């Protein structure tokens, strides 16, 4: 019997034992999540990341855990990312899916998946086998599985007759590994070789055939996707995850004179620049890029309220003093390793929402253990790492087991 949940008659959650999409979760005697393997059909134990508080919250709110062999019907009301570890200690990406039943009860199941992206060669179908083998070897430590797939491509003039484009698909065990591989690949293709890179010399030629998208082109594509929207009038402009990615911010962004929320996330930007024409901007999103330093905020500091800059390479918190109205700073998964860096944020007196987990300062600590240390430097923070703080957090709290 399958294990999962049905919505409007459609099975949406866990596969049957031996399926290829993960399995149902249960709890052991201590309340820790356990479950089924998904890809090889063998029963295995999966452990949550130490310090994960999902199980504690589920117990508090009486959320049932879908058990192996069980089938339920429900309405999906919440999704949350999670991480599990296999018997070799390798992290696996997953989703926690929460459902309402008609009788008012709630339950949760877990879906493990392999994030992926595609690589295209200059000439469709040319050298795909060689490229697949090269990339399989290059990212072997990230647990990559490289394969050749055919996908529809509307850019092909004869796509209507069924012609498809050959691509190399790279799938990974977790999103962190996928993002590292993606960033390293683009750096190496631009001639910025990383240590121990075994990529052959013909890849720079492929890189020259795939120049990065400039900001003007990105804005043009945004306008086309938004029914010819006028960039000068738009309040929300999202230039995220361009293909090829944006490599540099440039002055063409200054045409967005009315923008309040500008997103440039998931590209390959390595430097922030000044944007003096953006007099109304309140939210700037630059997550998942290659930025090493916060800069260029002097001209927009009087209006900027939220800066989303997680998953970059930032090691200091300099450059934020001009942001006198800053209330939210998402800077998780960077390279901040010294606790005194947080003292620099005291200049941002309105700052109340901070996300800083995933930095070296948290090394060896759970989020619960890190809270009192953050509050020593920033006592006015109301929301830390996505959780609303209470008076109990001010006294140092108890360390999580």
Residues 254-293: b if buried by 16+ CB within 10 A, e if exposed: ebbebbbbbbbbbbbbbebeebebbeebbbbbbbbbbbbe
Please tell me the predicted confidence (pLDDT) of residue 396: 45
Q: In the chain, where are the structural domains located?
A: 4-112, 116-208, 215-395
Domain 215-395 in the same topology as domain 116-208: no
In this structure, what token pair is assigned to residue 151?
Answer: 């996908």
Burial class of residue 302, CB neighbours in 10 A (0-12, 13-18, 19+) = exposed
Q: Which CATH architecture has domain 215-395?
A: Alpha-Beta Horseshoe (3.80)
162: left (phi over 0), alpha (psi -120 to 50) or beta: left
0.85 cut: is pTM over it?
A: no
Nearest to 253 by CA among 271, 269, 231: 231
User: Which residues are registered as beta bridge partners of 308?
Assistant: 285, 330
SS3 labels along the chain: CCCEEEECCEECCCCCCCCCCCCCEEECCCCCEEECCCCCCCCCCCEECCCCCHHHHHHHCCCEECCCCCEEECEEEEEEEEEEECCCCCEEEEEEEEEECCCCCEEEEEEECCCEEEECCCCCCCCHHHHHHHHHHHCHHHCCEEEEEEECCCCCCCHHHCCCEEEEEEECCCHHHHHHHHHHHHHHHCCCCCCCCCCCCCHHHHHHCCCCECHHHHHHHHHHHCCCCCCCCCCEEECCCCCCCECCCCHHHHHCCCCCEEECCCCCCCCCCCCCCCCCCCEEECCCCCCCCCCCCCCCCCCCCEEECCCCCCCCCCCCCCCCCCCEEECCCCCCCCHHHHHHHHHCCCCCEEECCCCHHHCCCCHHHHHHHHHHHCCCCCEECCEECCHHHHHCCCCCC
Please tell me the predicted confidence (pLDDT) of residue 34: 42
Please tell me the predicted confidence (pLDDT) of residue 336: 96
In CATH terms, the fold of domain 116-208 is Alpha-Beta Plaits (3.30.70)
Please tell me the predicted confidence (pLDDT) of residue 352: 96
* Measured CA distances, 45 to 26, 34, 112, 175, 278 (Å): 10, 5, 13, 21, 52
Measure the CA–CA gap between 266 and 242, rounded to whole angstroms: 8
Q: Which residues of the chain have pLDDT under 50?
A: 1-52, 193-209, 395-401
């Amino acid at each position: 019997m399958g294990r999962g949940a049905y919505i409007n008659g459609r099975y949406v959650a866990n596969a049957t034992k031996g399926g290829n999409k993960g399995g149902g979760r249960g709890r052991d005697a201590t309340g820790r999540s356990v479950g089924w393997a998904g890809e090889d059909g063998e029963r295995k134990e999966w452990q949550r990341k130490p310090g994960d508080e999902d199980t504690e919250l589920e117990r508090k709110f009486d959320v049932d855990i879908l058990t192996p062999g069980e089938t339920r019907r429900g309405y999906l009301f919440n999704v949350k990312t999670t991480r599990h570890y296999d018997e070799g200690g390798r992290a696996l990406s997953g989703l926690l899916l929460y459902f309402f039943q008609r009788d008012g009860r709630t339950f949760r199941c877990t879906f493990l998946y392999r994030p992926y992206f595609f690589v295209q060669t200059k000439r469709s179908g040319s050298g795909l086998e060689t490229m697949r083998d090269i990339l399989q070897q290059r990212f072997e430590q990230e647990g990559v599985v490289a394969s050749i797939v055919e996908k529809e491509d509307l850019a092909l003039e004869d796509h209507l007759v069924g012609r498809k484009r050959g691509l190399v698909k790279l799938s990974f065990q977790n999103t962190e590994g996928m993002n590292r591989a993606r960033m390293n690949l683009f750096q190496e293709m631009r001639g910025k070789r990383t240590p121990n890179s075994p990529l052959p010399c013909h890849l720079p030629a492929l890189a020259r055939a795939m120049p990065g998208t400039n900001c003007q082109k990105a804005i043009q594509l945004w306008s086309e996707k938004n029914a010819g929207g006028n960039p000068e009038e738009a309040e929300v402009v999202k230039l995220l995850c361009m293909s090829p990615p944006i490599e540099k911010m440039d002055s063409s962004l200054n045409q967005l004179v009315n923008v309040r929320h500008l997103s440039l996330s998931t590209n390959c930007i390595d430097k922030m620049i000044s944007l003096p024409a953006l007099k109304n901007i309140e939210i700037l999103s630059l997550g998942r890029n290659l930025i090493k330093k916060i800069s260029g905020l002097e001209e927009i500091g009087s209006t900027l309220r939220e800066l989303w800059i997680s998953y970059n390479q930032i090691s200091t918190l300099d450059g934020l003093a001009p942001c006198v109205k800053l209330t939210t700073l998402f800077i998780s998964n960077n390279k901040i390793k010294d606790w005194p860096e947080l003292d620099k944020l005291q200049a941002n007196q309105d700052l109340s929402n901070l996300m800083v987990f995933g930095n070296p300062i948290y090394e060896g600590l759970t989020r619960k253990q890190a809270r009192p240390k953050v509050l020593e430097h920033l006592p006015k923070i109301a929301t830390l790492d996505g959780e609303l703080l209470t008076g109990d957090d001010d006294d140092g709290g108890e360390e999580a087991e």
